Amino acid sequence: MAPARALRHLSLVLGAAVAALGSLLFIAWKIYFRDVNDSSIGWRGRWEQQLEAELGRSIPNEEEKPHSCEYQVLVLGLDGAGKSSILHYVSSTDTNKCTAPTQGFNSVQLWASGFQMDLLEVGGSKNLRFYWNQYLSKAHVLVFVVDSADGPRLPAARQELHCLLAEDPQLPLIVLANKQDKSDALSEAELYKELALHTLNGQREFFLLPTSATSAGLATPNSVLHLKSLLIKLLAQI
């Protein structure tokens, strides 16, 4: 009988220890996520105020985000054009010191009043461009990123862009003239000509935005945040 009582006593002690450890882990988890959420309030509040001023309507807070409408934004462009940096700075103000070339896919989710935007980037290396058109059918908007300072590769960018546009003549298009912070970057007018954008038919909604996907660029007229504002306006019409 003594060994049985000892085993029961040991079992109770171990159970109490496990329960106490579980409680401590739960408290630590709550404190961690409370701190993470608190650290994002400042930026989220500033961004919501900017959008509200631009669009003239309120933006719901995190707890009120509706998920009934989801839209996919396809982000393409040659390797090195700055697609990953665009996705980073359109969703965060943290300095992005080094961005490795995307070997496959990259994505971010953004929310606005009434819908969710899924921005999907497909890598721009030559072997991955073969798969680009397979994602067009699910896209609501195509964002094509161009390195404005990479003149020698603009013909390749033009060819890839027009091949995509031939697949879907009505898909809304936003061309980002990225890296406008470079001294040798082409202007909007020069890129309009180099990319043969004058050949686009009138059936397609089309925009050309100058961008600078850097931390310093967020405070300039070339801020990537203008892309988010434009996407909200476009998708709100669908």
Per residue in 136-146, pLDDT tens? 999 999 999 99
d(CA 93, CA 25): 31
Q: Phi, psi at residue 58, to the nearest 5°?
A: -75, 155
d(CA 173, CA 144): 7
**pLDDT tier for residue 45 given thresholds of 50, 70 and 90:** very low
Q: In this predicted structure, what is the pLDDT of residue 215?
A: 87
Listed in sequence order, the residues at least 6 apart from 110 whose beta carbon sits closer than 8 Å to its beta carbon are 90, 91, 116, 117, 119, 228, 231
Three-state secondary structure call for residue 107 = strand
Rg value, the chain, Cα = 24
Model confidence, pTM:
0.71
Mean pLDDT for 43-63 is: 42
Q: Where are the alpha helices (DSSP H) in 79-221?
A: 83-91, 126-129, 154-167, 188-194
More confident residue, 149 or 96: 149
Q: How far is CA 130 from CA 25, 85, 196, 208, in A?
A: 48, 22, 22, 24
Q: Minimal CA–CA distance to 179: which of 108, 102, 78?
A: 78
d(CA 45, CA 43): 5
Domain 65-235 adopts which CATH fold? Rossmann fold (3.40.50)
